[in-house]
Chain A
């Protein structure tokens, strides 16, 4: 299923518990250590179930990059009692939708169903937490599918290759330098035993969180959770080695040459993640800064580079403070025809310098905060996103109740704080510059028709 969420999603919005009648959260920890969180939302007769494993690409080692995601694929390939493919078929037969995704920080499996079919999802999900078969035959086919996925998403996508190279350069000692889908060499060499090792290491109740959101009764959900997940024996988690990116002390640069028409330049600075929501302000100020630069069509980067100077056709800025490892503050731009990468890169840096030198204006700050506030309301329209946010916070080691603290923190950011984080973090010693250098598109040879084998119209 099985798609990948690469890297950081920058969403300056989240949950406002403005309507307790519609939304409340309760939690229980099972005897085997698995956490269960239930969010009530009665707007529709629907339930979302998500199981989060705190095991993502950042937990992988050299030689087996991509194994978290490969295992995610294999989780649909059968257990002792549920044959390969049956998981999906049973959920579909119940009118449900299901899938999974792997990121740097976690692997998450989810189903959305009519509320009266929720039990089926919990039962099947608990089954594959402990009874996965991992047959060599299925593995041999599925690893080919994953390689096709890598070709589709990365190898044939110059912009994705640039971002892959950016990560591999900006991170030196931290495993965020590896792509979630894995390096192709590692995929080619991967064996079913690698997937099994991963499964046995990380797929254990104490490393998992169940999040259910929707029109459900918490007592009933807890009862099902105890019945299906609670019987899975507790297993100790292996020691997690501390991983930390060492202090960067000098600008880094990487160039990717690939067939493309337009160049692309991205600047990434190491920046602090959120660890103590009530005490820190820097991550909030960085989030606000991203909004000032790229929160709307007249935000600074688009207004300056695309509209006023007309030296870029696309721009972007983003920062995600909610992650297990330290993050990157990223800006990027696609140079307009006739404008050199160097000039566009200089223009991006000039915008950062302008923040540092002159600060930001109060209306800009207020505008970003208005968007944050509205986002708090809008995101309540998505049941799935509400569950995602709870799971995400737990997965990175934060208390999901502090989401409110974060909103207060964002609202409290001052213009001077925005200037201060730009001055402190967006400096050359923390910077990686990545440039996509377009190569000419290779000319294809006119092809003889018969080389396509069976490709002809009946």
Chain B
């Protein structure tokens, strides 16, 4: 009910993990428009609808510390007035045909998704608006100022919450001056300083066809898809894609940071930069993490922290693969009195896992789930769109889904042990605890 819609994008726990085998992979069609936009298309006419994703290498990794929040605000304000359409026109023209325009934003990617009926009139009206949003956003100063105030308010509210405080300190400890260490929505002061002309300039430099990937899923023919993709790309600002971002560090600033907080629970964040989207250790780490803390009730962390000791509702580990090394993170929340016990339990489990890796039985269970669950990962247009978008944005091989099961199946215990020891180095890890401290200090 009335969930509050913060547009601070929190780091997603969803790690792209495709697996596979039951049916042949998707028939992905790929081409490049004359303007240089890469297109990925799966044709499916079961439902009279179309899902579109347009992504640009224009995430918060393109921010600077002084202008942190620029990338997020640019993408956000793009849909609040463009070409001939006011912000009101945009929302109404979409709603009039039942279309849903949404934003997407993280450190690497910035863009939009559009879900619309595929009837000629509905499709045309929705796409026409999207084209204007991408190519001719207005960045009206009054709207920019209003949205800055909203971002600032959301940041200020979030800054009272332990999960936000901890995540921020954790990412800063992992990435230091690398832009992955910047908060995706920016800082109160840096956002306040942004101007409409800076947004327009950021748009001009990043929202280019050469920097764009388009994913299309649903009720279109190939010819229609080609025409649509070209229309999306043709009006964008000209110019090459930006230079690649700098490599991320492979170690955190090690040590522990304890941030006092009044909450009844302590929040733990532990980890280091760990995995790239294209990475030789992708599969050993992915499969191995299922056993450590990614496999829900199959995982060691859940078994020891939750099932055996009742210390937490949620405990997990994950690798978030990004363009450069994305974070490996272990997290949990526990009542403040049991903070030390929970942290010690996690450390013991991690040490044990780094020592000997998974058992044969655990590895088999992980593979059974990852491979056997493949059809579930592509059982809807929405899910397929998300895979298309990732494959396109990160330029993964078109057969990435097809080859997944074999690659999961090929992972051995030794591969996991070796990869974990190489990447998850305790001496290079940061630990952040929010809360816990006040109560303990009084006792």
Residues on A lying within 8 angstroms of B by beta carbon are 1, 6-10, 18-19, 22, 43-46, 76, 84-85, 88-89, 92-97, 112-114, 117, 140-149, 151-152, 155-156, 159, 163, 259-262, 264, 266, 295-299, 303, 306-307, 310, 313-314, 316-318, 320, 330-332, 334, 336-337, 363, 366-368, 370-375, 377-378, 380-383, 441-449, 451-458
Contacts of B1-25 to chain A: CB distance below 8 A: 1-6, 22-23
The 10 A-B pairs at the shortest CB distance, nearest first, are namely A444-B260, A95-B372, A374-B98, A453-B340, A144-B310, A316-B2, A298-B91, A44-B379, A447-B437, A95-B373
**9 sample A-B contacts, Cβ–Cβ < 8 Å, listed by A number:** A95-B373, A112-B376, A148-B310, A298-B95, A307-B88, A331-B2, A371-B98, A452-B340, A455-B433
Task: Write the chain A residue with the least CB distance to B334.
Answer: A148
> Is the beta-carbon distance between A141 and B310 smaller than 8 angstroms?
yes
Interface assignment of B157: CB less than 8 Å from any CB of chain A: yes
- Which chain B residues border A96 with CB–CB below 8 Å? 372-373, 376
Once the chains bind, are B98 and A375 in contact (CB under 8 Å)?
yes
A377 to B262, CA, bound (A): 46
- Given known A-B contacts A262-B156, A370-B96, A454-B340, A46 and B149 have beta carbons under 8 A apart: no
How far is A368 from B254 in the complex, measured between Cα atoms in Å?
53
Least CB separation from A44: chain B residue: B379
A9 to B271 Cα, complex, angstroms: 36
Q: Give Cα A266–Cα B1 distance, bound, in whole angstroms.
A: 11
B312 x A145 contact (CB < 8 A): yes
- Known A260-B157, A454-B347; contact A381-B381, beta-carbon cutoff 8 A: yes
* In contact, A152 and B153 (Cβ under 8 angstroms): no
Residue numbers in A under 8 Å from B339 (CB-CB): 452, 455
Contact A297 B48, beta carbon cutoff 8 Å: no
The smallest C-beta distance from B309 to any residue of chain A, in angstroms, reads 7
In contact, A260 and B160 (Cβ under 8 angstroms): yes
* Total cross-chain contacts (CB, 8 A): 280
Option from B149, B265, B376 in Cβ contact (under 8 Å) with A156: B265
Residues of B within 8 A of A94 (CB): 368, 372
> What is the bound-complex CA distance between A10 and B48, given in angstroms?
24
A148 to B333, Cβ gap below 8 A?
Answer: yes
Residue B298, interface by CB 8 Å: yes
* Contact, CB under 8 Å: B94 / A296: yes
A46-B376, A114-B372, A151-B335 known; A313 and B153 CB under 8 Å? yes
B223 at the interface (CB under 8 A from A): no
- B-side contacts of A149, CB under 8 Å: 313
Shortest A312–chain B CB gap in Å is: 9
State in angstroms the CA–CA spacing of A45 and B378 once bound together. 10
| B146/A377 in contact, CB under 8 A | no
Q: Is the CB of B310 within 8 A of A447?
A: no
Taking beta carbons and an 8 Å cutoff, which residues of B are in contact with A?
1-6, 22-23, 46-49, 87-88, 90-92, 94-100, 115-117, 122, 146, 149-150, 152-154, 156-157, 159-160, 162, 254-256, 258-265, 295-298, 303, 306-314, 333-335, 339-341, 343-344, 347, 351, 365, 368-376, 378-382, 426-427, 429, 431, 433, 436-438, 440-441
- Which one of B333, B379, B433 has the greatest number of beta carbons of chain A within 10 Å? B379
Least distance between A315 CB and chain B CB atoms (Å): 9
- Least CB distance from A68 to B in Å reads 17
Q: Which residues of A contact B370 (CB under 8 A)?
A: 95
Given the interface contacts A93-B369, A371-B98, A455-B343, does A310 sit within 8 Å of B146 by beta carbon?
yes
Contact B295 A92 (CB under 8 A): yes
Contact in complex: A159, B311 (CB < 8 Å): no
Contacts of B4 in A (CB 8 A): 159, 264, 314, 316, 334
Residues of A within 8 Å of B254, CB to CB, are 457
Docked Cα-Cα span, A454 to B256, in Å, equals: 11
Query: With contacts A95-B373, A310-B146 known, is A85 near B258, CB below 8 A?
Result: no
State how many angstroms separate the Cβ of B414 from the closest Cβ of chain A: 23
